[in-house]
A and B are shown apart, each in its own frame.
Chain A
Amino acid sequence: MSRNIFEFFRIGRSASSIDQRQSRLLLLAALFLFLDSVILTLSPAVREQTWNVSYRWSQWIGYAIWAALFFLADRFTRKQLPDRDPLLLPLASLLSGWGILTIWRLDPAYGIRQAIWLTVSLAALAAILYYLPSDLAPLRRYKYILLTGGLIITGLTLLLGTNPEGYGPRLWLGCCGVYLQPSEPLKLLLVVYLSAYLGDRLLIRQRFFPLLFPTIFVTGIALLLLLVQRDLGTASIFVLIYTVILYMATGKRRVLLATALMLALAGVVGYFFVDVVHERIGAWLDPWADPSGHSYQIVQSLLAIANGGMIGRGPGLGSPALVPVAHSDFIFTAVAEETGLLGTTALIIVFCLILARGLRIAFRAPDQFRRILAAGLCAYLGIQTLLIIDGNLRLVPLTGVTLPFVSYGGSSLLTAFIAIGLLLMISSQPDEMPALLTAPGSYYFVMGVLGVGIIATLFANSWWAVLRGPDLLNRTDNPRLAISDRYVPRGAILDRNNQPIDVTEGQSSAYHRVYLYPDLAPVTGYIHPTYGQAGLEASLDKTLRGLQGNPASLIWWDHLLYGTPPAGLDVRLSLDLELQKRADQSLGDHKGAVILMNAQTGEILVMASHPTYNPNKLDEIGASLAQDQNTPLVNRAAQGMYASGSALQPFAYGLKTAQQVIALFENLGFYTPPQIRLPVAGAMQSGELKNLRISPLQMIVAEGTLSAHGLRTAPRIVLAVNTSQQGWVILPALGQSIQALDTATADRIANELAIQNQPFWEWAGAGNTGPDFSTWYLEGTLPDWKGTPLVAVVLLEENSPALAKDIGVQLLKAAITP
């Protein structure tokens, strides 16, 4: 066995070594794509974390077609071109196979079309190898006819153009389900024309500008066509290809300078006068300004790359379809998400090797025409590759062009394989000496620029995938969290007696949240793919999603294997559902809030806010809820701010100066938002007295001092988390308990407010700001009460003290009766 492996990697020096090299590389490419297909088949099992799933088989059709085609291509090139470059075909095969499988994984319907186009492309390659003479003379002779033909066909799209998607720019010619984008092969024809023209003319000494006139003329016509069609990406590629070929052939730097100035000028003019250019450049300069509009694509692209990270989520295991046109313009993003930085680096190196071999072929070409042609084909492949990859990585503004070999698109695939065919032809010149290259400097310069571009691409790729990735993934517009919620159960929210409040039901791939006690919605909130999260579901999200409370190693391992967090953890609240139901019933249709709290421990037993809503029906009512005049989404108990009015009088009784009152209110927490695991409203500025507005939660924390000998306890609504390793773990209160009133004062006030023959004190107050009226009713157990010290607050957004008192008294009575 070891001998076989040794044999496999040994490169013989015999005449057949070219054939051996090609077949070995093709075999390795086939192995790579085989593994890719195996993983795609198994991927549903990983997603749903069970073996009992329907597996994905259809991409094997694509694999089989790919394998058969390249087996034939291998045989054919052996016979036809014994002295070809042995690396080109395997490199192109790897890219196209990777493309087909990625496209298939995104959408099998596109995959099968791409497989058909691959067949057509390889047939075209074979035809070139078979019919063209090795000096490519017909291309040279008929350069004007070829280019004119290409221009006419491209021009036809102005009259007969369509778009296979049914909308968007009409750049295709098509019939009966087959579409061709003539601007793709036109690139190739331009390269052929320029190399033929320059190859003939450069030998004759001629002044520079007369030499260029014909090329400027035909390139100008091509550009004009593309500009009329608004195919700006392809137009910029044309300008770049033209410049690079001209520069390499003539070695005159002023060509580069002129083009750089022209492109900059076109960019500036386009930015101010052409909407598409303005949008694209704006989205490039600051994508975060409009992440759901013009820069939606680029932001989603960066999110996908970030989700891929270092090693990727695995084929079939990411969510690359979230990026619009992932199969075409953003195929690089799809590869990045599923194979990570490791995969995209390999992809970029494969392109590098194609360029390196292409330039080697150019240097060894036996005449000027073939040298410029080979270099021009490299320029076309290199420029287009860098433009679209760097566009995906936000290194340059986005141009809607395809990634050669990989992207979906018949015209693009065909063009790329014709380019490979021509390069193979030029490489197969065994006995001819390379033509004299008088000034190689321009070639080295172009190679240097491509090299710098590739290095910059790798850096940008690492930046988004690894360095900035974790930050990006926390963005709220990352839809992957909502997707992982469908595959991983979220922790349940339980009341203090482990009665379920919010639970996750269903099975993997269809988990959904069920709210068993919908009246609590303003407090517990919701989680929804469109409307996000609210209430406790938001503040406890990390725990419920399993990202907090699980060991870091488990989180890392699950992310590595499944790309999701581990199963969520259950959370126990301090709420008591029995008492909660009673409070909700008595509050009924009245707008207001009720809180019941243990004054000693700070545990909140009841927190009601009305009106409420049914989070189970969020799909239907979600859009209208936010506009509802009655603001049911607001948790009035913690987020509502109400005029305190006369409700605070008992505390301030006997204090002489405003400073004393402010100091007291400071102690009671009226100027600081309560610290609790729940979204709360911000407090008013210190010093506010007359128009002081406070939330019912602030009020109950303050009145707790009267039932607990002046102790202001930190409120708690979450008691414990059920961790996988240590069972229920207590979550302590976030805030500190402090002695806000001295014991004597607190007890005196409570006793002065005592109700006759009852173990309670009470106080009713009212406040109003303009037309809004707030009725407060405060009640609590007396300081000498032997049981659990309890306090309650009732707030109504109406003037009805009797109702408030009724609600409060009933609730507290129920709470102290066992």
Chain B
Amino acid sequence: MSGVVVLAFRILMAAAVYIFLGLALWMIWQDLKQEGRKASLRVFPAIRLEVRARNRVVVSKTFSKPEIILGRNPACDIPINDETASAQHAKLSYHHNQWWLEDLNSTNGTKLNREKLSLPTVLTSDDEIQCGKTKVTVIMNDTMPGSPEP
């Protein structure tokens, strides 16, 4: 008889430890979901890029997504019609509360304010990016809230 009573307690005890684990895993799952929500709701400042050719603005586009690719490939966010630019030339990305410029191993390199870029670098407004021979000006407006691109 004592064996049966204790067996019942043993089953309860095993249930208790597995409920503990289940609850802990449930919390971790909730954390993951929250991370996802945070990522999807993240707000970042809009950025406008102006492409110039022979000192004339050819393209001007405003972005509100966290990653922008510049390159000769027409599928790029900013297509650059220039033989000295690589297909995927440079990347702008928003993280750590900053816009960052990064060269994508382009053949002729990327220059920021006439200096050759080797490491990801923080951008500020009115910076001049040079991909091959094409120059792109960065214009930031801090008060513009992010909204999905049409």
Interface pair A433/B17, CB less than 8 Å apart: no
Interface pair B18/A346, CB less than 8 Å apart: yes
Interface pair B16/A46, CB less than 8 Å apart: no
Interface pair B16/A561, CB less than 8 Å apart: no
Is B59 on the interface with A (CB-CB < 8 A)? no
Residue in chain A with minimal CB distance to B31: A360
Interface pair B20/A9, CB less than 8 Å apart: no
Interface pair A343/B27, CB less than 8 Å apart: no
Residue in chain B with minimal CB distance to A29: B20
Stretch at the interface among B5-13, B106-114, B129-137: B5-13
Q: Considering the chains assembled together, what is the distance between the CA atoms of A24 and B5 in angstroms? A: 27
Residue in chain B with minimal CB distance to A338: B10
Q: Quote the shortest CB–CB distance from B108 to chain A (angstroms).
A: 25
Chain A interfacial residues counted at CB < 8 A: 45
Residue in chain B with minimal CB distance to A42: B6
Say what secondary structure dominates the interface of chain A: helix
Q: Considering the chains assembled together, what is the distance between the CA atoms of A339 and B5 in angstroms? A: 16
Q: Quote the shortest CB–CB distance from A45 to chain B (angstroms).
A: 4
Is A90 on the interface with B (CB-CB < 8 A)? yes
Interface pair B17/A32, CB less than 8 Å apart: yes
B5 contact from A32, A36, A42, A50, Cβ within 8 A: A42
Is B57 on the interface with A (CB-CB < 8 A)? no
Interface pair B96/A433, CB less than 8 Å apart: yes
Query: Which chain B residues border A312 with CB–CB below 8 Å?
Result: 10
Interface pair B20/A25, CB less than 8 Å apart: yes
Is A39 on the interface with B (CB-CB < 8 A)? yes
Chain B interfacial residues counted at CB < 8 A: 28
Interface pair B2/A46, CB less than 8 Å apart: yes
Interface pair B17/A46, CB less than 8 Å apart: no
Say what secondary structure dominates the interface of chain B: helix
B20, B25, B26, B30: residue with the most chain A Cβ atoms closer than 10 Å:
B20
Query: Which chain A residues border B97 with CB–CB below 8 Å?
Result: 433
Query: Which chain A residues border B25 with CB–CB below 8 Å?
Result: 353
Is A49 on the interface with B (CB-CB < 8 A)? yes
Is A91 on the interface with B (CB-CB < 8 A)? yes
Q: Which residues of B, 86-105, contact A by the 8 Å Cβ criterion?
A: 96-97
Query: Which chain A residues border B5 with CB–CB below 8 Å?
Result: 42
Query: Which chain A residues border B10 with CB–CB below 8 Å?
Result: 39, 311-312, 314-315
Is A632 on the interface with B (CB-CB < 8 A)? no
Q: Considering the chains assembled together, what is the distance between the CA atoms of A9 and B23 in angstroms? A: 7
Is A618 on the interface with B (CB-CB < 8 A)? no
Contact A356-B23, Cβ < 8 Å, known A39-B13, A314-B10: no
Query: Which chain B residues border A433 with CB–CB below 8 Å?
Result: 96-97
Interface pair A32/B20, CB less than 8 Å apart: yes
Interface pair B4/A28, CB less than 8 Å apart: no
Q: Quote the shortest CB–CB distance from B53 to chain A (angstroms).
A: 35
Q: Quote the shortest CB–CB distance from B16 to chain A (angstroms).
A: 4
Q: Considering the chains assembled together, what is the distance between the CA atoms of A183 and B74 in angstroms? A: 63
Q: Considering the chains assembled together, what is the distance between the CA atoms of A25 and B10 in angstroms? A: 20
Residue in chain A with minimal CB distance to B5: A42
A346 contact from B2, B7, B21, B28, Cβ within 8 A: B21
Is B150 on the interface with A (CB-CB < 8 A)? no
5 smallest CB-CB distances across A and B, nearest first, come from A561-B3, A35-B13, A45-B2, A32-B16, A28-B20
Jot down 21 A-B pairs with beta carbons below 8 A, ordered by A.
Answer: A11-B26, A11-B30, A25-B20, A25-B23, A25-B24, A28-B23, A32-B13, A32-B16, A35-B12, A36-B13, A39-B9, A39-B10, A43-B6, A45-B6, A51-B2, A87-B28, A90-B24, A311-B10, A315-B10, A349-B21, A353-B24
